[in-house]
Amino acid sequence: MTRAPRTCTPLSLACALLLAACGGGGGGNEMGGDGVRVNQVGYAPGTRKVAVVVAGDATTFNVVDTTTGEPVGAVDRPLGEASTFGFSGETVRVAEFTDVTAPGTYRIEVEGVGRSYPFEIGSSVYRDPALKTLKAFYYWRASTAIDAEHGGAWRRAAGHLNTNLPFHSSAAALKATTADSWSAPGGWYDAGDYGQYVVNAGITVGTMLALHELFPAAFPGDDAQLDIPESGGGGVSDLLDEVRYELEWMLAMQDEDGGVFFKIAGLTWPGWVMPAADPTTGSRSVIGKSTTSALDFAAVMAMAARIYGLDAPRGAGDASFAAECRQAAIDAYAWARANPDVAAPTYTIGSGPYGDSNYTDEFAWAAAELYATTGDATYLADVDLDAALDAVSLSGYAGWQNVKNLAYYSLAVNGALDAALGAGATDALRAAIREKADEHVQTMAANPYGFPLDHYSWGSASQVANVGVLLVYAARYAPDEDSYRRYVDAATQTADYVLGNNSTGYSFVTGVGDRTPMHIHHRPSQADSVRAPVPGLLTGGPNSGLQDRGNGNPPVTYSSRCSDARPVFCYTDQYESYSSNEPAINQNAAALFLFAALDALANI
């Protein structure tokens, strides 16, 4: 792919990204940072600020202004007591510098250990990560060209038009339509290949719409910084414009009986080619139906019905589209009630399974969203209302296979429980969310990196981000200033982890930070001629499952440091490592929510 010159404008995010593509933004630099881990983006002034130092013999550190080269505030600040991070075996010390609040660019210096990557302190430090993780969805668009004006160096030709697709036998056996083929253009590619899946679209779109519902000003209608084709049109939020591209594809996946086809994919895995050159396009098919695809679809369409029908800035003011989404949600839910145990298709050659064996959480989420949108209490039959008021019923974090938390988040935001259970029910649900968040706060306090989980599995970086989402909801509904600060600080630490304050020393978001993944399991990023990968993509992160080691990959795919005792090192920046270095839309949605929410909270 040949880069074309283009003119930059002050509001052009693609312009800034084009400059980064020419060689910056990843793989480490001469600043170091291996022994001093920080959030490589920065910290909001009023939040807790910590770095982690691989101990050595050092006992003090300095916060240095990169402009003057001089320490700020106290000199030779004491490091915390040495402790061991069990997942890595490292002996580390915590460097806390919460008192440094003046806007500027800084680094941490530790004699005998080294110095950190530079970072900023300022009220808008999360704005750029939020913009980039949202802009990444534009680069994931199928069936359309990514042009130079909006895509910069990562422009590409259109691929996978998704028209006149044949039905795979798994879909043909369940379809209601009498048509012999199906068209569903548009939508986003799911991850590092070219499959498109309704189930993973569900949690992705649900998370993004929940962000808008909780913080509508995060991406206001007059904000054209995202620089997508729809920017600035009609005063509609760029977030809602981008999400609509996926919603319209999802609508095209609904069959005439209300059921929803499961996925579109080729029948073999594509090679490392650009979308327009994918040789598997000819086998691309509509595959399966399932109860989960119908319910996830119903949930997000119910959300879209109440959000897109509102006038700006809380919506798009599109009554016709909102009505279409509402009816689609009602029809899909009715199909799922009539077909409550249709499993995901078993055909997975060339596409991911996204299988599930428990549908109660999908029923709860869809029912909660339909109730919040329609006010029809009959939907609550599929929501365990007693469980909703108990923190035990909440998951530690949401995931595509367990969307129960999304039901509870929606009921907490919309206050819908009061009508069903009486005054105070919504407050009780919000208290349950805080109680679950407190469990994470305790876990985070017990280890130097503030890691909130007890494992490293597939998508660990997004799991941490989803814990951050839970903590944001807890902060939003905190009963007092101390509680609010505790949850915001904890959510900030999850962002710190994702952006570099972790044992690998990587910021797991491409193009965000100084040491970022450069060789991700993402076909467009590997097949184009741009040195840097598509920016704003959250990779999977450490994963002790090692699912790709038996695939004929070279042994260097995993560091020799990776072991059951040290799972944090089961990460490598190599494109073969799909189990640790692949982005996915659901992962990005969690990071987007976290960064945009922290940006909003820093400015409330």
**Mean pLDDT value across residues 330-338:** 98
* pLDDT (0 to 100) of residue 3: 25
Residue 116 has pLDDT above 60, yes or no: yes
Among residues of the chain, what percentage have pLDDT more than 70?
A: 92
By the 10 Å C-beta count (0-12 exposed, 13-18 middle, 19+ buried), 3 is classed as: middle
Residue 293 has pLDDT above 70, yes or no: yes
Q: Is the pTM of this model over 0.75?
A: yes
Domains of the chain listed by start with CATH number: 127-501+586-602 (1.50.10.10)
Per-residue pLDDT reduced to its tens digit, 524-565: 999 999 999 999 999 999 999 888 876 665 444 556 688 888
CA 522 from centre of chain: 16
Per-residue pLDDT reduced to its tens digit, 220-238: 886 667 999 999 877 899 9
Give the DSSP H or E segment for 96: strand 90-96
Residue 18 has pLDDT above 50, yes or no: no
Q: At what angle do helices 13-21 and 127-139 cross, to 10 degrees?
A: 80
* pLDDT (0 to 100) of residue 259: 98
**Mean pLDDT value across residues 437-442:** 97
192 Cβ neighbours under 8 A, 6+ residues apart? 520, 521, 522, 523, 578, 582, 583, 584
Tokens 């491409």 locate to 510
97 Cβ neighbours under 8 A, 6+ residues apart? 49, 50, 51, 63, 73, 77, 108
Residues with active-site annotation? 193, 521, 573, 582
Length of the chain measured in residues: 604
